[in-house]
Amino acid sequence: MAGIDDSDAPEIDELTPPERTLMGPGPSDVNPRVLRAMSTPLVGHLDPSFVEIMDEVQELLRYTFRTENRWTIPVSGTGSAAMEAAIGNVVEPGDTMLVPTNGYFGGRMASMARRAGGAVVEVSAPWGEPLEPVDVEAALAEHDPDVFGFVHAETSTGVLQPDVPALTEAAHDHDALVIADTVTSLGGVELRVDEWGIDVAYSGPQKCLSCPPGASPLTLSAEAMEKVLSREEEPRSWYLDLSLLEGYWGEERAYHHTAPVTNVYALREALRLVAEEGIENRWARHERLAGALKAGMEGMGLSMNASEEYWLPSLNAVRVPEGVDDGEVCAALLERYDLEVASGLGDLDGEIFRIGCMGHSASPENVLLVVTALGDVLEDVGADVDANAGVEAARNALR
């Protein structure tokens, strides 16, 4: 241990992160009840009491996804882990997966499908627009894919994919299984896995569920699970192999990896909050509060990037006014108001602000804070906006 003695021990201060209001693309603000659940003592991940907790989390997840799928679990890891569990198990080497080009997360789908040994084909739409059912239909007819993936709520563009049943019906007519990215829709905007014919849906806890990242919702239909369990080749990831995870989450309750106990507690409490509020009330709350946010933006003279028919309440993409440096505005909001919102990325880099309105963050006080703070900072940098008119419009919408 040459060169290391006691005096080298790092002196690091106690953790005192700034108190931010999280109105970006995630994570969102966490309800204090969820934080309290996380500070309760651990039990073993095979403890009979934990087995009961696992059952409760599964039941609550089914309620939130609007599904009766037996195969409904939290995957250890962030949303991308649930995403990779979905794609890496359903896509087999030699399979073809159809993915969208209209945002950042379609690109991630493609990357994961290729790593799973699949071939990737695309259905195109510009960033900031949804997929058109006719284009999906044409791509299905042309490429005959085994799997079709789409993003229900595109966090990079603030676009909600409308008319999901039109897409799933088309895919099923071509015998393709449908994987939906519901990371920014679950618990925030209307989502009905069974009724809409979605075969596999994955999500993340830190967006509309307002839970810290770490255990991420995933659900698979019996048909999708049948494909997974009859694979010829093992999935490339041992950690995310659903046939092995079945041993833990299924009847057996056998050790596979140590469940992130604290994150499962957190998710349980976050989902209990969903059940208490009622899933449909929760969707309505997001629409009402994000509606007020949108009214505030438009009231001050800004415009939304997505048109009304596919506006995504949980992620509001607002056009950056002419001549304004978006990065400077985001930094000022953080500095002066402890408020987090995000810039655009990819094709919309520098063109939009991304303002989340998710879960616990979707509250009247947060909406008024965002409208007030953004109006103030934009006026300061000389943008052509009327901050007071924005606040007035948001207040009226909240009445």
Ligand X SMILES: *Cc1c(COP(=O)(O)O)cnc(C)c1O
Residues that bind ligand X (CB under 6 A): 26, 78-80, 83, 105, 151, 155, 181, 183-184, 204, 213
| E strand or H helix at 372 | helix 364-380
Nearer to ligand X, 130 or 390 (CB): 130
Taking CB positions, which residue lies at the least distance from ligand X? 79
Nearer to ligand X, 79 or 235 (CB): 79
Please give the distance of CA 306 from its chain centroid, rounded to a whole number: 18
Nearer to ligand X, 79 or 217 (CB): 79
Nearer to ligand X, 181 or 269 (CB): 181
* CA separation, residue 176 to residues 96, 105, 226, 259, 349 (Å): 10, 20, 14, 32, 33
What is the three-state SS of 101-162?
CCCHHHHHHHHHHHHCCCEEEEECCCCCCCCCHHHHHHHHHHHCCCEEEEECEECCCCEECC
213: Cα within 13 Å, side-chain hemisphere: 14
CB of 194 to ligand X, least distance (A): 21
Nearer to ligand X, 355 or 393 (CB): 355
Nearer to ligand X, 80 or 243 (CB): 80
CB of 158 to ligand X, least distance (A): 11
CB of 57 to ligand X, least distance (A): 18
CB of 68 to ligand X, least distance (A): 24
359: Cβ contacts below 8 Å, ≥ 6 apart: 28, 29, 31, 187, 188, 207, 208, 209, 210, 211, 270
CA distance 340 to 107: 25
CB of 76 to ligand X, least distance (A): 12
CB of 314 to ligand X, least distance (A): 9
Q: Is 124 left (phi over 0), alpha (psi -120 to 50) or beta?
A: beta
